[in-house]
Amino acid sequence: MAKKVSKAVEEKAEHGAFYDAARRVLLAGMGAVALAQEEAQDFLDKLVERGELAERDAKKLMQEVMEKRRKVGKDGLEKRIEDILDRMNVPTKSDIEHLSAKISALSHKIDELKKTQG
């Protein structure tokens, strides 16, 4: 019993570590995106100040950049998260469900063997 509790605590700690690592990676990525957006806006503002770009063109360009970022963000975020979790060797929900089914089947077989022997 103590072994089961110890194993559960260990698994919970591992899950927490993976969660924290994934959270830090995602927050860093979001920070990088925000910084890049600010840099792009600053760049466009300087072009407008120097008269190299009309203000309406700068606004239009920034809207295009934001729209593309949103589109790529929606399409690519899930893929990037999957890649990060894969590199961290974190099992997928499907992996866990598959293993759970195997464990259940093995437990059932063990119970059947115990009944026939005892």
| Predicted confidence (pLDDT) at residue 5 exceeds the cutoff of 50 | no
Statement to judge: residues 98 and 75 lie in one domain: no
The per-residue pLDDT for 107 is: 95
Average pLDDT over residues 10-14: 55
Statement to judge: residues 102 and 72 lie in one domain: no
**What domain range includes position 80?**
2-87
Statement to judge: residues 54 and 26 lie in one domain: yes
Statement to judge: residues 49 and 10 lie in one domain: yes
The answer to whether 21 and 89 are in contact (CB under 8 A) is no
Domain total of the chain: 2
Write out the H or E segment, with its range, that includes residue 2: helix 2-49
Statement to judge: residues 67 and 111 lie in one domain: no
Q: What pTM does this model have?
A: 0.45
Q: Rounded to whole angstroms, how far apart are CA atoms 9 and 3?
A: 10
| Predicted confidence (pLDDT) at residue 113 exceeds the cutoff of 90 | yes
User: What's the one-letter identity of residue 24?
Assistant: R
How far CA 118 is from CA of 21, 24, 26, 31, 105, in Å, comes to 48, 53, 54, 62, 20
The per-residue pLDDT for 99 is: 93
Q: Rounded to whole angstroms, how far apart are CA atoms 84 and 104?
A: 30
Per-residue pLDDT of 19-60, as tens digits, reads 777 778 777 877 777 788 888 889 989 989 999 889 999 899
Per-residue pLDDT of 50-92, as tens digits, reads 998 899 998 998 898 888 877 776 667 778 778 888 888 888 8
